[in-house]
Amino acid sequence: MIDVNELVARVAALPRAVPGPPPPAVSPEDVAAAEGALGFRLPPLLARLYQDVGNGGFGPAYHFLPLTGEGRTVLGEYAAERAASARAAVPYWPEGVLPVLDWGCGMYAAVDCRDESGTVLLFEPNVLGDAAADAWFLDAPGLATWLETWLAGTGWYREDEQEDDRAVRQPVPWEEAAARIAGAS
């Protein structure tokens, strides 16, 4: 069982991925306002990271996006992806899945807010096949597990690839993708 308090402290203690002072953490009121704008609640650990660690700038590689504020934010990216998906001939972005980290090349780490543990998904449109669901992968069954994988250096995205990467967890296709994109519960 992962100790969430210890996990949040470990994430907060790491050097920031972004130069300069860390963005200040958001308040519980900011989280409540973001949830109101989204129409759903954030998983508790995700809300806690934004309140206790900072408003983005932490995490692997390109770092978590700010929840709210100026420039690119989680709220802004979610709204943009949902709007683009609604206009697309084949919708691709499910409701309740927040893009929290931009991997580049159109790829996102996203958190499923319908799941209290915050299932972490990889959106990889560059492998899109015949169906939009082909672009969605299960990266970790929960945000805590995903953070532990990152902290242990065993994520698929790690920069120091070894010849023998058997310990590295690889994303697998997200079985719920087609139903969630179609709006099924």
Predicted local confidence at residue 17, as pLDDT: 62
Calculate what percentage of the chain has a pLDDT beyond 90.
Answer: 67
In the chain, domain spans: 4-156+168-182
| Residue 185 binned pLDDT confidence (cut-offs 50, 70, 90) | very low
- Looking at domain 4-156+168-182, which of 3.20.20.70, 3.40.1580.10, 1.10.540.10, 3.40.50.150 is its CATH number? 3.40.1580.10
Distance from the Cα of residue 47 to its chain's centroid: 12
CA dihedral (16, 17, 22, 24) in degrees, to 10, reads: -110
- Strand boundaries in the chain, DSSP class E: 97-104, 107-112, 120-123, 136-140, 172-173
At 161 the pLDDT is 54
pLDDT digits (tens, 9 = 90+) for 21-77: 778 999 999 999 999 999 999 999 999 999 999 999 888 887 899 999 999 999 999
Task: Please tell me the distance from the alpha carbon of residue 153 to that of residue 146, in angstroms, as a whole number.
Answer: 11
The average pLDDT across 135-150 equals 95
